[in-house]
Structure 1
Amino acid sequence: MARVLITGASGLVGGELLRLLLADRRVTAITAPSRRPLPPHDKLTNPVGDDLFALLTELDQPVDAVFCCLGTTRQQAGSDGNFHYVDYTLVVESALTGRRLGAQHCLAVSAMGASPHSTFLYNRIKGEMEQALREQGWQRLTLVRPSMLLGKRAAPRLLERVAQPLFRLLPGRWKSVAARDVAQTLLEQAFSSGDGVRVLESDRLQHGERLAH
């Protein structure tokens, strides 16, 4: 049985993952700090507050795995600094909190094209985040790099609405992927065997592609 920590549970992938975790009998306890209250559930602990960093420092219940599903855009964040704080600082702190609470496996949502050497801010921050998680020395580290995500957001993103029809037609890892498929992959990886770092590109997150491998 597993006890898990999840950050970003009110987001697109995180929300799908939370529903899967709540329904999975192998998961006995879920800690999900968030800015907005989540629907109550018997096995869910949901600390709520505007300062996620502070919420993380106050957690003290042991966990076996940590899921980092945080993510925003430069436009939503309002500045480069705010974007870095959400997509790097809070993700790294989520992972460190998981380590402090006993987790042996960290699973994080990154992005296609993530690289600390990218000239694009979004991809560079995602790459720096991945590098920071690698340097934490996890027994198991799973990084998923989805292309454009499909799903219903609480606050729709204009660029995604415009680009989604195109990304549905693209081949391989460029093709858009459903948030529920990304969440399902994370759940499957959490209960899979093997140590070390595993990076799953977007074509490995597609439901049909995943079943074929």
Structure 2
Amino acid sequence: MSQVLITGATGLVGGHLLRMLIQERKFNYIAAPTRRPLGDIDGVFNPHDPQLTDALAQVQDPVDIVFCCLGTTKREAGSKEAFIHADYTLVVDTALTGKRLGAKHMLVVSAIGANAHSPFFYNKVKGKMEEALIAQQWERLTIVRPSMLLGDREKHRFSESLFAPVFRLLPGNWKSIDARDVAQVMLKEALTAAPPGTTIIPSAKLREMAQGEG
């Protein structure tokens, strides 16, 4: 039996993943700190605070695995600073909390094109986030890099609705992917034994693995 910590449970990938974790009998403890309450969910510890870092601090029980599904856009966040806080600072805080609680495996949602040296702001922040987690020297670190995510969000994203038809037609890593497939692969990776080290899974590979081909 394993104990897990998940952040981003109110989001698109995180919402799917939380439901999968609840149904998976191999997990006997789920901590899901959030900025707004999840509501009463049996078997889930849900400290919540507008400052997610404060909610993370309330998690005290040991965990084995950490999932981080945090992610927004600059438009949604409202500023570059707010985006960095959501997609870098809070991700690193999640990882540090997992380390504090004894976790050995960290799984995180990044993005296609993540590169700390990218001229594009979004990709650069995602790349720096990845570098920060790698520098923490996790026994096992799994980074998933999906393309445009498909699924029903609580908050409508104009750019995604505009470009979704195009991304459905693109090849390889650029082809859009269902958020549920990303969550499914993250769960599969968490339950599968693997050698120590960092694994980066690009979007095309995520689709293959979700379909049972990888």
TM range (shorter): over 0.9
The percentage of aligned residue pairs carrying the same residue is: 53
So what's the TM-score if we normalise by structure 1? Answer: 0.97
- CA distance in 1: counterparts of 2:160 and 2:56, whole angstroms: 30
Match of 2:60 in 1: 60
Q: What's the secondary structure of 2:115's corresponding residue?
A: coil
- Give the Å deviation of 1:49: 1.2
Alignment-derived partner of residue 105 in structure 1: 105
1:120 partner letter: F
CA contact (8 A) 2:182 2:210 kept: no
Amino acid at match of 1:198: T
Alignment of 1:202-213 (within 5 A): 202-207=203-208, 210-213=211-214
| Alignment check: 8 A CA contact 1:5 1:31 kept | yes
- State the shift of 1:131 in Å: 0.2
Please report how far the alpha carbon of residue 149 of structure 1 lies from its aligned counterpart in structure 2 after TM superposition: 0.1
Give 1:58 shift.
Answer: 2.7
Aligned residue in 2 for 1:74: 74
Equivalents in 2 of 1:129, 1:123: separation in Å? 10
Unaligned runs of 5+ in 2: none
Q: For 1:61-104, what per-residue CA distance to the aligned partner results, in whole angstroms no more than 9, with x for missing partners?
A: 11010001001100011111110000000000100100100100
Aligned to 2:177: 177
SS at match of 1:206: helix
Ranges of 4+ aligned residues in structure 1 off by more than 3 Å: 207-210
CA contact (8 A) 1:204 1:210 kept: no
Partner Cα distance (2:54, 2:14) in 1: 20
What TM-score results when the alignment is normalised by the length of structure 2?
Answer: 0.97
Coordinate RMSD, CA, aligned: 1.1
**Structure 2 partner of 1:43:** 43
Q: Secondary structure at the match of 1:124?
A: helix
- Counterparts of 2:33 and 2:210, CA distance in 1: 32
Amino acid at match of 1:62: P
1:199 aligns with 2:193: no
